[in-house]
Amino acid sequence: MGNNVQSAITPKRAEDYPNWYQQVIKASDLAERSPVRGCMVIKPWGYALWENIVRVLDDMFKATGVKNAYFPLFIPLSFLEKEAAHVEGFAKECAVVTHHRLEKGSDGALVPAGALTEPLVVRPTSETIIGDSFSKWISSYRDLPVLINQWANVVRWEMRTRLFLRTSEFLWQEGHTAHATSEEAVERTKQMLDVYAKMAEDYLAMPVIRGSKTAAERFPGAVDTYCIEAMMQDCKAMQAGTSHFLGQNFARASEIRFQTASETEDYVWTTSWGSSTRLIGGVIMTHGDDDGIILPPKIASAHVVLLPIIRKSDDREKVMAYTENLAGQLREIYYHHRKLVVEIDNRDIGGARGWDWIKKGIPLRVEIGPRDIARDSVYVGRRDKAHNEKISLNRDQFVGEISNILDEIQNSLFMRAQKFSKEHTLSFDDRKAFYDFFTPKSSQKPEIHGGFASSPWCGKEACELKIKDELGVTIRCLPFEQENNKDSCICCGKPGIIRAVFAKAY
């Protein structure tokens, strides 16, 4: 790949967004499909991103008093059945374990043997199995609140999968808390949504809208589901985290009772909240350009790559020594609570080397050649700028300023995403304009159009479903921050009760 290449990824976003997404992942080496239906292999560059997300979230959870624990991968069928709406929601996509060994069949091939008396479901989520523990741990108001989080893999058998966005197995965290009062549980539900919003905006540089889900979009078994929704560059919404107020539904199902301070008996009030490797899909689609992904520095797999320029073999020793020395110096610098991660790439593959790192989305590329060394300077390219827009910086200045430069990149990514999101978030009170917004014009690619439409809604599921049927658009959330006008429902024209944000969604 040389300088005459217009973009590193084929197709471009505007040409074929879904295919662009796949090609970006391939080019960046984040992940790949596995031979197991719907499961992905998260490669080191993608897993490092996940590790950084995990560390940030984990610290924020712990700062609110949450402690980590671990519960079984398997859920007995009878547990899942305890909450009617819950089992209804997950029965269609469960991996079911029915046997516990393999045996040679009559033709010599291995077949499942040792049938289980009760089938086990590979957890799609853990409310029921964790509820069972809570029922043993909690007996008095003095035991409350219980604030638990689990980092785990879960399985939901998806028929149509996309790397990171929808896979049969994915990695996530699920928080589960139990409280003495409804108010305290609701407060915790909101608090954890705020944690997700902070993660999205301050670390992933991904602006989000906060709100609650309609009954139709709620977590199966929840009283209320709060969510954060982010806009991708194809103007679709991606749910980036959900926090559920479960009322006493799961406490009843799992018999989690406690003695109150006034010596009566009651069921506890529970919450659950989760975020997953899907966030990586959101990062790709929020920041990626036609040259590949762009990693926000605060969670980047690595911050900077050093590219020694060795044109003559005589230069090799000197250039490599300088490079290694600079790397050592940079690796001692703390950037937002972790040391800078510095890569050195001395492969002799010409211009493809720089392009590889552009496609991998590393925030900074630093070229170091004999002439730079002679001037004690480095030649720096930022991933948020055009690929050929590089500047020469004095080495000391670069070392002294690198944290600020990374913060600048972090901020510029956020500002750019926010601008995009605002431009494509419109208020509609007129039905025709609303329908026009979600109908691609002849000049538009059907997969890139529309955006977020804030419109009044009467609260009836019939209207919600009508719009879904006619436009493929759903209510992403009922935003906490409401505009005043909610006079007439965008669908039926009858009095509205709230403004909803409508969008196509991942």
Does 445 contact a copy of itself by CB under 8 A?
no
Figure out which of the listed residues 43, 252, 390, 460 binds a copy of itself, where binding follows CB under 8 A. 43
Figure out which of the listed residues 11, 119, 370, 459 binds a copy of itself, where binding follows CB under 8 A. 119
Does 337 contact a copy of itself by CB under 8 A?
no
Does 71 contact a copy of itself by CB under 8 A?
yes
Q: How far is CA 175 from the centre of its chain?
A: 16
Contact region for a copy of itself (CB under 8 A) — 32-40, 192-200, 260-268, 370-378?
A: 32-40
Does 423 contact a copy of itself by CB under 8 A?
no
Distance in angstroms (rounded) separating the CA atoms of residues 506 and 476: 10
Does 471 contact a copy of itself by CB under 8 A?
no
Does 98 contact a copy of itself by CB under 8 A?
yes
Residues 168-197 that bind a copy of itself (CB under 8 A): 169, 171
Does 39 contact a copy of itself by CB under 8 A?
yes
Does 305 contact a copy of itself by CB under 8 A?
no
Q: Pick from 416, 422, 428, 423: which is nearest to 473 by CA?
A: 428
- Residues 121/127/132/138 CA torsion (nearest 10 deg): 170
Q: Pick from 336, 272, 343: which is nearest to 128 by CA?
A: 272
Cβ closest to a copy of itself, residue 75 vs residue 293: 75
Helical packing angle, 278-287 and 17-28, nearest 10° = 110
What letters, b where the CB count within 10 A reaches 16 and e where it falls short, cover 323-341?
beebbeebeeeebeeeebb
Contact region for a copy of itself (CB under 8 A) — 93-101, 222-230, 267-275, 465-473?
A: 93-101
In sequence order, the β-bridge partners of residue 151 are 173
Cβ closest to a copy of itself, residue 350 vs residue 493: 350
- 300 with 49: CB under 8 angstroms? yes
Cβ closest to a copy of itself, residue 148 vs residue 406: 148
* CB atoms inside a 10 Å sphere around CB 447: 16
Using CB atoms within 10 Å of the CB of residue 116, give its burial: 0 to 12 exposed, 13 to 18 middle, 19+ buried.
middle
Q: How far is the CB of 74 from a copy of itself (least distance, A)?
A: 5
Distance in angstroms (rounded) separating the CA atoms of residues 269 and 37: 38
Figure out which of the listed residues 18, 67, 397, 415 binds a copy of itself, where binding follows CB under 8 A. 67
Does 59 contact a copy of itself by CB under 8 A?
no
SS3 assignment for 338-407: EECCEEECCCCCCCHHHHHHHHHCCCEEEEECHHHHHCCEEEEEECCCCCCCEEEEEHHHHHHHHHHHHH
Figure out which of the listed residues 14, 18, 51, 436 binds a copy of itself, where binding follows CB under 8 A. 51
Residues in contact with a copy of itself by the rule CB under 8 A: 32, 34-36, 39-44, 47-48, 50-51, 67-77, 79-81, 87, 91-103, 110-112, 114, 119-122, 129, 132-133, 136, 148, 152-153, 155, 157, 169, 171
